[in-house]
Amino acid sequence: MPRVADHDARQGQITDAVQRLIVRDGLTAVTVARTAAEAGVSVGLVQHYFTAKDEMLLATFTRVNARFTARVEELVDRGEAEGRTIAAMLRQALAELMPLDEARRAEFLVRLAFADQAAHNSRLAAVQSRTLAGIRTRVARAIENGTACGEVAQGVDATGQALRIVACAEGLALHAHIDPGGTPEPAVLAALGDQLDHVFTGTCRRAQRRERDGEGD
């Protein structure tokens, strides 16, 4: 019997082709025919998985978000294992949203194209809204965890501060995209760090205990 192609792998092959087209030639370059040629598959195969351009864009956007989420989870797992502060882990996670290397630049261009398309498509706009809300929720949860461990002062409005932090990160990302020469990576990360330092003003109690334990050795 002929081998059945893996469904997820085929979708990934097509959405990766969509991403390459967006990065290289812009959103208008994304058609079923050009996507098929870029992916090295038939038009019929693309149409088997996606009946419309909007569906291809949505799947590509979802895949970009999944890659971002996976990287953040890996950073958090590694940070927790190394005993990093919540602020440090959040700084690393938000930096993944910024076009500071070719991989992140490609993902940023997909998000930018998606935002433009969502302005005229209610279905895509709903996904965009949920995605943004999800990022703010994760940041707010990090602030709440920071309050619990002592990195954030009691009474800080986690939701309000998450809005400010995410807006700052997105603004920095846009500046880095528009004017990369005038917005070098050290300046971007320093600005993000300054924003986080306004919220994460304390020291984690676990870190304090580790220091005391170390002094007693």
| Closest by CA position to 93, among listed 196, 214, 209, 216 | 196
Tens of pLDDT, residues 155-186: 999 999 999 999 999 999 999 999 999 999 99
* pLDDT, tens digit, 9 for 90 and up, residues 74-121: 988 898 888 899 999 999 999 999 999 999 999 999 888 888 888 888
pLDDT for the residue 210 = 54
Written as one string, the DSSP assignment of 140-160 is HHHHHHHHHHTSS-TT--HHH
Domain layout of the chain by residue ranges: 1-51, 62-215
**217 pLDDT exceeds 80?**
no
pTM: 0.83
Give the Cα separation of 85 and 152 in Å (integer). Answer: 11
CATH class held by domain 62-215:
mainly alpha
- CATH number attached to the domain at 1-51: 1.10.10.60
| 36: CB partners within 8 A, 6+ apart | 17, 42, 43, 45, 46
